[in-house]
Chains A and B, each alone.
Chain A
Amino acid sequence: MQKYGRELSVAMVLVALLLVLAVVAPAFYEPQPLLSRLAREAPTLVVACGVALVMVTRQIDISIGSVFALCGVCAGSLAAAGWPLVAVFGVTVLIGATLGAVNGALVAGLRLPSIVVTLATMVILREGLRWKQQGAFINLPDAWQWFGLSQRSGQITLIVCSVALLAVLAWASRNLAGGRFLYAVGSNAEAARLAGLRPQWVTLAVFVFMGALAAWAALLNIVQSPQVDPKSGTGLELKAIAAAVVGGVAVSGGRGNLWGVFVAVLLLACINPALTYLHVEAYWEKAIQGAVILLAVIFDGLRNRRQTT
């Protein structure tokens, strides 16, 4: 109970919000808009999972929005060139992993601070993409949208894809030796090294994985519309980090649970439509999101203080 306190309290806030909506704005639960909203959040969930794992290792990756955009454009170009879907997926994930490996090599190999490294790659990739694409959208082949399924089945497929991935990662982070390495390195890298682990390789691996997940998220994003927007993913890193923080992942590493991140993604995703349905002016949207993040951090701060004194 104590152990999952954070996950439960975020879940309770979410349930409360959903109950309020059920009473005040039953229209929120109409299936089609609800499905669309959830499908739109599928890429966020995937990226948030990745960044949560990066944070558990006591690193941060803010280049994910740019990686996301670049991977989307690459996938779109390949698709437009007539590559089959499976090949496009494979190559795109590989590109994402490679970009992640660059971050990881700089952070783990040269021991540079990850916030600076990924800030640099974020800008480089974003601006490089702008120079290359000049803002031009890429038209996808018809068979691409919703994987060629109906909108409804396509959206369900996306949601299933992302939630299944989350479930697998949540299980793996608890039940695979590799997952435990992330927590050990994030808690105390020096102790992990003295225990015979290789913190640098663990760090590299988590960045590679992050890149691959950003690519996967980009793929789940582009199939939702007929065109690929080269400016997509702007601000995605902040959204993902916010979800991880609200979900109980410690910025200081070593603590966090992917199910908490899942609940937090849902909570943050519900805030916007809730405001609309509750007739709160849209200007408040960001402020309220910020307040939720701040509350989460204050909650952590108070809990830590109680533990140490």
Chain B
Amino acid sequence: MAPLLQLSNVTKSFGAVRALRGVSFTLEPGEVHALLGENGAGKSTLIKVITGAHPLDDGEIQIGGQLITHLTPARARALGIACIYQQPALFPDLSVAENVALRLEKTSPVHGVRWAERQARAKELLHRIGAEIDPAAEVRTLSMPEQQLVEIACALGTGARVVIMDEPTASLTQKEQHLLFAVVRDLRSHGVGVIYISHRLEEIFALADRVTVLRDGQSVGTNPVDAINEAALIKMMVGREVSAIYPLAESAPGERVLSLTGVGCSTSGVHRIDLELRAGEILGLAGLVGAGRTELAQILFGLTPADAGEIRLGGQTIHIADPQSAVAQGIAYVPEDRRRHGVILEMPIAANVTMAIHSRLFPGTWLRDAAERALTLDFIRDLGVKAAGPQAPGGSLSGGNQQKIALARWLATKPRILILDEPTQGVDVGAKSEIYKTIRQLAADGLAVLMISSDLPEVLGMSDRLAVMRGGTIVAEFPRGADAHDVMAAALGQKKEAA
């Protein structure tokens, strides 16, 4: 029998970033195939290629033994591929039955609606997966796991032969997890192939038949779960050597600048954070997506003020109520998504650079072009920004150079504490090493740097000290030179094995 799905040598690039480099992957009927990898290893890209959301650059896809060129989302659905995302994509204002109907019914706009039939089918599908959900309920009133169950019911209803689940248990309780596992096993027994993405290794061992590990857009290997153990999997995930592009600290860290004791914020789910930042030191913050790292940064920058614990800056207890007070205290935050939250693409570089220091650079609110220009030119030179000039729009720069401008905006505030959220995301290798040098130079100049990164080699290579977050709090702290394996194990929530 032909495999349900077969990818051979699939390649996909986004600009200079090669997200997938020749990945091969097979899914057999009646198989639960787990997909494992660090953040950014290429899992989501692979899923999007399979669902037709991204066209591939090279390689081929066979579905049910049939070679498919030009896969589109509609085509993929028609061929029986269903994907259940972490965040269910349902219509919140419509009822469960209507949501199911929208996925399943193919009717012309003037076709009459058979309401009874809709209700009955939704009810039957929900019953099949053991979910007790009223088909007439509006989706907005359902909990997140209930919405996921509705998604699964839809997938079942379309007669999907390939079901992709992207971290389905991330928001489920223990009981709901067991229900979900039963559903997955039921799908398997009906010959459906399930691609199961999860960071929780214990789930993979409980549920999957085979596991494929992705790293840097390549498949590191596919193994039956019986033939492999957790330690081997983690080793496959991290695998890389910390290379020499990370500049080292030349002096010991200075005085303590910022200390957090028991800091938490109920709205963002961060709790009991104990942390210390020293001048001249780069503190890395590692963890998986959703571990609460960005949320912690947002507490420190006053975007979601802390409602528990104590923040001390240079020995004084402070309250950071909003970004303005954070800036006044000398805290700078370079956000993660620079296109949405960092550089204002329509505005000139110069305006972007001076955005956070208007009142300082322009007392009396007159803009002084000469001062702005001089400052911007200094940054363009110091950070090695490749730009046509200070008046070039932010949107005309490459990713790495935009990141430098976002950095320049905050360096212009002359901060004491610099928080960097994924500073090299989507930046090519050359620009990366320049950014690393800049960050190290800033630390050497006495700045306390808190660097959030999902790139494990990067955060290991850059950090003088490394804290690992999981589930909204800090679960481990490592000195420089920590072992990648231990860090990954902490981020995944594995108990440290006795060495």
Contact = CB atoms under 8 A, between A and B. Distances in A.
A178 B341 CA distance: 20
A50 B123 CA distance: 56
A191 B346 contact: no
Nearest to B327: A196
A205 interface: no
A242 to B, nearest CB: 23
B356 A184 contact: no
Given A193-B323, A194-B333, A195-B356, A187 B345 contact: yes
Contacts of B426: none
A183 B352 CA distance: 11
A190 interface: yes
A292 to B, nearest CB: 25
B344 A175 contact: no
Given A194-B323, A196-B323, A197-B355, A177 B343 contact: no
A254 interface: yes
Nearest to A176: B365
B311 interface: no
Nearest to A198: B324
B182 to A, nearest CB: 42
B203 to A, nearest CB: 35
Contacts of A183: 346-347, 351
Interface in B244-268: none
A194 B341 contact: yes
B409 A195 contact: yes
A177 B369 CA distance: 11
Contacts, number: 66
A192 interface: yes
B367 interface: yes
Q: What band does the interface of chain B fall in when counting residues whose beta carbon is under 8 Å from A?
A: 20 to 34
Given A175-B366, A184-B355, A194 B347 contact: no
A118 to B, nearest CB: 25
Contacts of A194: 301, 303, 323, 333, 335, 341-342
A171 to B, nearest CB: 11
B362 interface: yes
The A interface is mostly helix, strand or loop, or mixed, namely: helix
B381 interface: no
Contacts of A196: 323-324, 326-327, 355-356
Interface string A30-49: 00000000000000000000
B340 interface: yes
Q: What band does the interface of chain A fall in when counting residues whose beta carbon is under 8 Å from B?
A: 20 to 34
B367 A175 contact: yes
A6 interface: no
Contacts of B347: 180, 183-184, 187, 254
B491 to A, nearest CB: 26
A176 B366 CA distance: 5
B341 A191 contact: yes
Contacts of A192: 344, 355
Given A184-B351, A192-B344, A194-B335, A176 B367 contact: yes
A181 B326 CA distance: 19
Contacts of B323: 193-194, 196
Contacts of B344: 184, 187-188, 191-192, 254
Given A195-B409, A196-B356, A187 B346 contact: yes
Interface in B353-367: 355-356, 358-359, 362, 365-367
A184 B409 CA distance: 14
A178 B347 CA distance: 15
A191 B346 CA distance: 12
Contacts of A254: 344, 346-347
Contacts of B342: 191, 194
A180 B351 CA distance: 8
A299 to B, nearest CB: 18
Interface in A146-204: 174-178, 180-181, 183-184, 187-188, 190-198
Interface in A178-236: 178, 180-181, 183-184, 187-188, 190-198
A126 interface: no
B319 to A, nearest CB: 17
Nearest to B324: A196
Interface of B: 301, 303, 323-324, 326-327, 333, 335, 340-347, 351, 355-356, 358-359, 362, 365-367, 409
18 contacts: A175-B366, A175-B367, A177-B366, A177-B367, A183-B346, A184-B347, A184-B351, A187-B345, A188-B341, A191-B340, A192-B355, A193-B323, A194-B301, A194-B303, A194-B335, A195-B355, A195-B356, A196-B355
Given A183-B346, A184-B344, 18 more contacts: A175-B367, A177-B365, A177-B367, A180-B351, A181-B358, A184-B347, A187-B344, A188-B341, A188-B344, A190-B340, A191-B342, A192-B355, A194-B323, A194-B335, A194-B342, A195-B356, A196-B324, A196-B355
Interface of A: 174-178, 180-181, 183-184, 187-188, 190-198, 254-255
